[in-house]
Amino acid sequence: MSEQQAQDERPRAARRRRWLAVVALAVVAAIGLGVALVERGGARDRAGGAAAKPPAVPVGAVAAHAGDVHVYLDEIGTVTPLATVTVRTRVDGELMSVHFREGDLVHEGDLLAEIDPRPFQVQLEQAQGQLARDQALLENARVDLKRYRTLVAQDSIPKQQLDTQVSLVHQDEAALATDQAQIDSAKLQLTYARITAPISGRLGLRLVDAGNIVHATDTGGLVVVTQTQPIGVVFPVPEDDLQRILPQLRSGVTLQVEAWDREGKQKLATGHVLTIDNAIDPTTGTVRVKAEFDNADEALFPSQFVNARLLVEVRHDATLVPSAAVQHGTPGPFVYVVSPEKTVEVRDVTLGPSEGDDTQIAKGVAPGELVVVDGTQALRPGAPVTLTDADRQTAVRDSS
């Protein structure tokens, strides 16, 4: 090779080396771009996977259980005394003394007041004196009658005289009966002068003070006695519920009634149904029911308004869940049920009555299934959940 050819070959070799370097750089760049795209795609896949599987929601859950639930009819009732008596005088006279204090609890027969007894004592003595006089006349008439019968037998006097004496004896006997009636009347007036409690109960305010002249015709009376032990509560029941009550009463079942305060927070007394009214009120479509309470602690006061709860049925082995587990939506009530895979599902339910903190599930949940009671705000169908330690222990006990 000539010197000229060698000089021409050197530039071409340099150009080839530059092209090879450019190609190498392009290959390296392509490889780097591919790696970056692969890593970015992996990041997107990881991000998508995280979005597809959201974090578990912590919830509180309780297992549904079987138990008894009591079915009540809740109505507004009025406390009504079984007896209320206005004490009045049965004789006229001056009210000499009052032997009670307002508000006292008295028993039947206790002395409440006294009317001046002196006029009735005088009447009694007069009747007794008249009786003694007529007894003497009767004895004399009987002696004469005996004598006349002897004389008639001897034909010494006419028989008409004997008949007249017999009639006289009968008159005297009638006079004695009248005198005895006068005595009994005077004694009765003396008894009425002592005014006693006609029933056991609590006294009201005194209506007449001692020293006043009272009459049997007075309308106000002396005091009012109200029976408080036992006491009644009258409340209405819709006529549609009447057939839930009548068959049980006719068969001799004692229906329990609870009396609660107006706010329904405190139970005042427990009693039983005494009777049902004999007609339905057509204006309200209800029938009145009267219940009786012992009221030993006098928690019930006459004319007080109470919430009456009539127990009409006890459902045994009912499925019960906490009332907090029941949610309400447009289709109706539902609950969140925790599956064995620790996800939740929405379960439509049919509700029964509630008692205390529990509600009966008539359809939709079986005993032993876990229902969510806390943390329902963040739940969606199929969402994963985590349970508290206490809930896990409950679930283990129920499953075993």
Interval 247-283: pLDDT, tens = 999 999 999 999 999 888 899 999 999 999 999 999 9
Interval 147-199: pLDDT, tens = 888 888 888 888 898 889 899 999 999 999 999 999 999 999 999 999 999 99
CB under 8 A, 24+ apart: contacts of 50-56: 53/384, 54/383, 54/384, 55/384, 56/342, 56/383, 56/384, 56/385, 56/386
Interval 341-366: pLDDT, tens = 888 888 889 888 888 888 989 888 98
Average pLDDT over residues 3-16: 56
Is 90 exceeded by the pLDDT of residue 398?
Answer: no
**Residue 391 and residue 344 share a domain:** yes
Question: Is 30 part of any domain?
Answer: yes
Question: Is 282 part of any domain?
Answer: no
For the entire predicted model, the pTM comes to 0.66
The DSSP element (H or E) to which 336 belongs, if any, is strand 333-338
Question: Is 18 part of any domain?
Answer: yes
Question: Is 261 part of any domain?
Answer: no
Nearest to 111, CA basis, from 215, 197, 15, 229: 197
Classify 361 in phi/psi space as left (phi over 0), alpha (psi -120 to 50) or beta.
beta
**Beta-carbon contacts of residue 349 (< 8 Å; ≥ 6 apart):** 326, 333, 334, 335, 361, 362, 363, 364, 365
Is 90 exceeded by the pLDDT of residue 94?
Answer: yes
We report the CATH number of the domain holding residue 377 as 2.40.420.20
Task: Calculate what percentage of the chain has a pLDDT beyond 70.
Answer: 84
Domain that holds residue 2: 1-53
Q: Give CA angle at 316 (243, 246), nearest 5°.
A: 15
pLDDT averaged over the chain?
A: 85
Average pLDDT over residues 16-25: 63
Q: How far apart are CA 197 and CA 22, in angstroms?
A: 128
Interval 296-309: pLDDT, tens = 999 999 999 999 99
The DSSP element (H or E) to which 42 belongs, if any, is helix 3-52
Between 154 and 15, the higher pLDDT residue: 154
* Alpha carbon of residue 350 to chain centroid: 26
Least confident of 96-100, 154-158, 205-209: 154-158
Question: Is 381 part of any domain?
Answer: yes
Q: What is the pLDDT of residue 33?
A: 57
Q: What is the pLDDT of residue 376?
A: 80
Q: What is the pLDDT of residue 55?
A: 81
Q: What is the pLDDT of residue 148?
A: 85
Interval 129-144: pLDDT, tens = 999 999 999 999 999 8
Q: At what angle do helices 159-192 and 118-153 cross, to 10 degrees?
A: 160
Is-cis flag, bond preceding 230, omega within 30? yes
* Token pair belonging to 318: 């009912």
**Beta-carbon contacts of residue 20 (< 8 Å; ≥ 6 apart):** none
Local confidence band at 399 (pLDDT 50, 70, 90 cut-offs): very low
DSSP class per residue in 230-297 = SEEEEEEEEGGGGGGTHHHHHTT---EEEEE-TTS-SEEEEEEEEEE-SS-BTTTTEEEEEEEE--TT
Name the residue type at position 140: N
Least confident of 77-91, 187-201, 379-393: 379-393
* Token pair belonging to 279: 């007609």
Q: Which residues pair with 79 in a beta bridge?
A: 233
Cα-trace Rg, the chain: 51
**Residue 7 and residue 63 share a domain:** no
**Residue 380 and residue 331 share a domain:** yes
Q: What is the pLDDT of residue 18?
A: 65
Local confidence band at 53 (pLDDT 50, 70, 90 cut-offs): low
Local confidence band at 15 (pLDDT 50, 70, 90 cut-offs): low
Average pLDDT over residues 44-66: 70
Q: What is the pLDDT of residue 397?
A: 43
**Residue 22 and residue 61 share a domain:** no
Question: Is 330 part of any domain?
Answer: yes
**Residue 393 and residue 354 share a domain:** yes
* Token pair belonging to 396: 């283990």
Average pLDDT over residues 92-109: 94
208 phi/psi in degrees, rounded to 5 = -135, 140
Question: Is 134 part of any domain?
Answer: no
Is 70 exceeded by the pLDDT of residue 36?
Answer: no
Local confidence band at 400 (pLDDT 50, 70, 90 cut-offs): very low
Average pLDDT over residues 38-42: 52
**Residue 339 and residue 322 share a domain:** yes
**Domains of the chain: total:** 2
CB 310, CB 233: distance < 8 Å: no
Nearest to 276, CA basis, from 239, 311, 313, 301: 239
Place of tokens 């009693």: 271
* Alpha carbon of residue 41 to chain centroid: 70
Q: Give CA angle at 248 (296, 290), nearest 5°.
A: 40
Local confidence band at 12 (pLDDT 50, 70, 90 cut-offs): low
Q: How far apart are CA 87 and CA 89, in angstroms?
A: 7
Helix (H, G, I), strand (E, B) or coil at 23: helix
Question: Is the C-alpha dihedral spanning 179, 181, 182, 188 positive or negative?
Answer: positive
Is 90 exceeded by the pLDDT of residue 210?
Answer: yes
**Residue 62 and residue 38 share a domain:** no
Average pLDDT over residues 34-55: 53
Is 60 exceeded by the pLDDT of residue 3?
Answer: no
**Residue 63 and residue 25 share a domain:** no
Question: Is 11 part of any domain?
Answer: yes
**Residue 63 and residue 30 share a domain:** no
**Residue 374 and residue 342 share a domain:** yes
Between 84 and 2, the higher pLDDT residue: 84
Q: How far apart are CA 163 and CA 158, in angstroms?
A: 9
**Residue 65 and residue 44 share a domain:** no
CA distances from 306 to 144, 227, 268, 296, 342 (A): 79, 18, 9, 17, 47
